[in-house]
Amino acid sequence: MRFDIVTIFPGFFDSVFAQGIVRRAQAGNLVEIHAHDLRSFAHDRHRTVDDRPFGGGEGMVLKPEPLAEALQSLAIPPRHHRDPGGATRVVLLSAQGRVFNQAMARQFAQLQRVVLLCGRYEGVDERINDLYCDMELSIGDYVLSGGEPAAAVVVDATMRLIPGVLGNQASGEFESFGVADAEIDADIDGVPRSQHGSGGLLDYPHYTRPADFGGLHAPDVLLNGDHAQIRRWRREQQLRKTLRNRPDLLEQAPLSAADRQMLETLRNGG
């Protein structure tokens, strides 16, 4: 899979993508990541990529010509000349976009190429969005100085779902926002079903050696070898953590009757 990032700060990504799983994925030719300097497509003496907004107002707006030329250099035609069902997506990163989530990451991981345009200043000339972009994405309800951190988030969340990137591919399923239990095979690469898929909930807490640390003991249920008890405990902990940190997720999560009964107990202080 290939990621192309159009940015005025290509050096931002030098260290971000030179570490850990992302570095190994590139070294193993599973992922290609290319950062392209937008200023290379500005042809005046100062390599100007922004200008004042029409109609007045504060801040500057990224000009359409350099962005269009950058996309053309990547062999990306305007949207109406592309196959809407094709294997490439052009994404504008901005505070006005839909909020990126794990479901989108899974969709991106099925593609061959994702082109990320990093917004900056007050934004990007809307005609670039209209002409070239398949979607507009944000990574949260806050404003960043530019789209570079958002691009790093999208790349990282997506590439770890590509087969072969993680040492154990099931790691991408048994975690927060992972797939539901019904979508997970009974046994994946030796991972027992004592671990739940999150089904859109937050992950359960994890513990490792030593069993005693800082005066706290790892839960006994995790040490007794009873996988049925472990499954129930982990499900309860998923529901407890989601109720505490992200109650909004419970509205869409596929919950069983047992889940709902457990939630009612938790809400009542259980």
Q: What is the pTM of this model?
A: 0.83
Q: Tell me whether residue 171 is exposed, middle or buried, using C-beta atoms within 10 angstroms of its C-beta: 0 to 12, 13 to 18, 19 or more.
A: middle
* SS3 of residue 96 by DSSP: strand
> Quick one: how many helices (H) and strands (E) in the chain?
8, 9
Contact between 54 and 182 under an 8 Å Cβ cutoff? The reply is: no
Sign of CA dihedral 159, 148, 81, 41: negative
Q: What is the pLDDT of residue 170?
A: 55
Q: What is the pLDDT of residue 146?
A: 96
In degrees, rounded to 5, the angle at the alpha carbon of residue 120 between the alpha carbons of residues 115 and 126 is 70
Q: What is the pLDDT of residue 103?
A: 93
Q: What is the pLDDT of residue 3?
A: 98
Q: What is the pLDDT of residue 58?
A: 85
Q: What is the pLDDT of residue 172?
A: 53
Cα separation, 225 vs 227, whole angstroms:
6
What letter would DSSP give residue 191? B
CA atoms within a 13 Å half-sphere pointing along the CA-CB vector of 37: 10
Q: What CATH code is assigned to 180-267?
A: 1.10.1270.20
Distance between first and last Cα of the chain: 46
Sign of CA dihedral 48, 49, 55, 57: negative
Which residues lie closer than 8 Å to 98 by C-beta, 6 or more apart? 135, 136, 137, 138
Strands 32-37 and 2-7: parallel
Q: What is the pLDDT of residue 183?
A: 55
Q: What is the pLDDT of residue 57?
A: 85
Q: Where are the alpha helices (DSSP H) in the chain?
A: 13-16, 20-27, 64-73, 102-108, 126-132, 148-159, 227-245, 257-267
Give φ, ψ of 113 to 5 degrees: -155, 135
Dihedral angle at the C-alpha atoms of 228, 229, 231, 232, nearest 10 degrees? 120
Stretch(es) of the chain classified as CATH 1.10.1270.20: 180-267
**pLDDT, mean of each 10-residue run, the chain (270 residues):** 98 96 96 98 95 91 97 97 94 95 96 97 93 97 95 98 80 56 45 49 91 94 94 95 94 92 94
Superfamily of domain 2-159: SPOUT methyltransferase, trefoil knot domain (3.40.1280.10)
Residue (of 174, 165, 176) closest to 22 by Cα position: 165
> Which residue bears the tokens 């200023």?
39
Cα separation, 232 vs 212, whole angstroms:
23
Stretch(es) of the chain classified as CATH 3.40.1280.10: 2-159
